[in-house]
Amino acid sequence: MKSCLIAGALAVCQFVICASAWAFQNEPNGFGGIVWGTPLTAVQGQLQPAGMTKGGDAIYVRSEEDMQFGVVALSTISYIFHDGLFIAAVLKSLSAAGSPYLVKEALTLNYGKGEGDSDSSVWLGQTGAVLLKCYGDSYCDIIIHRANSGVNLYKQSLPNIYRDDPFPKSGNPA
């Protein structure tokens, strides 16, 4: 009986340690005041339709939005809804010399050190994930996304948003 309790306690400790390894500082549970999984119908009055991703997810924008992420000026902030539920925000930086460095610095200040290099980094957590993709020295995309129970989000959920790059370089929805 005692060995069963010890084994159970060890299993719980191992789970807690593994679960906390997925977290990162200021891990997002949404973006722009919208929590992951919020139905579009609950926030539709705040947003305007802006198209669809190549994967079929709805893209929305706000008419009045703070177009800053730390010290980084943004060209667009798009809200992505999959099956009517909020799953991601896509932030596009304005093209400017040194923009990738400033974006990476802002993300590091907010979320801590991510995995990756100066052009592409990721922060994976239990409730949210943040992806950074920079294009040379000019501009970057930041994708703040709902996590799926700590599963590798990039491989499972983002191909529709990230790899297909539904937005042209101008930053306007396709």
pLDDT given at position 39: 97
Residue 68 · residue 83 · CB < 8 Å: no
Q: Which is higher by pLDDT, 10 or 18?
A: 18
Would the pLDDT of 120 be above 80? yes
Would the pLDDT of 174 be above 50? no
How far is residue 14's CA from residue 16's CA, in Å, rounded to a whole number? Answer: 6
Sign of CA dihedral 92, 31, 39, 133: positive
Give 47's DSSP letter.
Answer: -
Residue 9 phi/psi, 5-degree rounding, is -65, -40
How far is residue 82's CA from residue 56's CA, in Å, rounded to a whole number? Answer: 8
pLDDT given at position 43: 96
Segment 126-150, tens digit of pLDDT: 888 898 888 877 788 898 988 763 3
Would the pLDDT of 19 be above 60? no
